[in-house]
Amino acid sequence: MKLIFLGTGAGRPTLRRNVTSIALLLPQAGGRFWLFDAGEGTQHQLQRAKLKLSRLDRIFITHLHGDHLYGLPGLISSRTFHEGSGKLRLYGPPGLRGFVECALTQSELHLDYELEIHEIEPGPIALDDERFAVEAGELQHRVRVFGYRVTEAPRPGSLNSAWLAENGVEPGPLYGKLKRGEDVELPDGRKVLASEAVGPGAEGRIVTILGDTRPCEEAVRLAKNADLLVHEATFGAGMEEKAASYGHSTVLQAAETASRARARRLAVTHFSARYDDEAIDRLAADGRAIFPDILAAADFLELEIPPRPGGEGRRKAPKS
């Protein structure tokens, strides 16, 4: 699982930072990925990151401000020219359908693929994907805004194949049953318990991506125990009053949210154009006093989210 930042600036694109968009590359999916927000120019950033529009199958919009949305019509349009593009599913606040349908109608665009638009409310989102669950939570901004918590399904434990071979369990259908958690009986009558032959599973990874927001309890809840929290940090320390008036956060407030949520890692993004790269690095350094594992995102930064550790199979003899 990998996150690629396609835009890390706030409000308007600059030569250094495009406006908000983040790609989540899914594990073992043949290059399939999801997109979170689609600010102006996102399809150009996707090309630079060598991500194929035909492999994009879900887009999650946090809110309907232009720096998170204006790249969506062009992206949808371009995707129809990519061979192999299947169904595309869009999720976002009420009003998303009207925005997209107006753009398609007025430009007389005809898509060669199926487009599903889901206007959501807080709570779990139906995905038809057993490997992931996504929950939306409502944050605090000047318009309705959502944060998304992506949870990977638990990973099954590993078969202790060496131990199984030593005890006369040959590779084949019995391995599959044990892997699925089923106990098996050998031809000689011995029983092998799945709990003995398969190590404990591992919890799935959690990635939380928040839209623009003031500090709020819902942000903490969505980020609880996340492997990676992506939080806006439009302003630096000392600008809390200005941040609150615009519905944004400072880097120190983002660090406080990560600390309270006991997240493992924090990436801050959505920086005001007033800050150059050196200033942004200093902002992140300030945040380490509150949350040590913080980094400032930059366009095309790639972050791997490693699997959570699991265990090995136990070494007990099969029961006779």
The residue type found at 58 is R
Q: Closest by alpha carbon to 266, among 316, 306, 238, 227?
A: 227
276 is catalytic: no
Could you say which DSSP state residue 65 is in?
Answer: -
Q: Closest by alpha carbon to 90, among 50, 62, 49?
A: 62
Could you say which DSSP state residue 271 is in?
Answer: B
Q: Closest by alpha carbon to 169, among 137, 136, 191?
A: 191
Which residue among 67, 112, 183, 293 is the active-site one? 67
CB 34 within 8 A of CB 23: yes
Which helix (DSSP H) or strand (DSSP E) does residue 165 occupy? helix 161-166
CB 18 within 8 A of CB 41: yes
Q: How many CB atoms lie within 10 A of CB 225?
A: 12
CB 135 within 8 A of CB 125: yes
270 is in an annotated binding site: yes
Q: Are strands 33-36 and 56-60 parallel, antiparallel or unpaired?
A: parallel
248 is in an annotated binding site: no
DSSP assignments along 280-306, one per residue: HHHHHHHHTTT-SSEEE--TT-EEE-P
SS3 60: strand
82 is in an annotated binding site: no
DSSP assignments along 93-114, one per residue: STTHHHHHHHHHHHTT---SS-
118 is in an annotated binding site: no
63 is in an annotated binding site: yes
212 is in an annotated binding site: yes
SS3 202: strand
Instruction: Render the burial of 201-217: b for 16+ CB within 10 Å, e for the rest.
Output: bbbbbbbbbbbbbbbbe
CB 52 within 8 A of CB 79: no
Summarize the annotated binding site as residue ranges: 63, 65, 67-68, 141, 212, 270
Summarize the annotated binding site for Zn(2+) as residue ranges: 63, 65, 67-68, 141, 212, 270
Q: Mind telling me the catalytic residues? A: 67
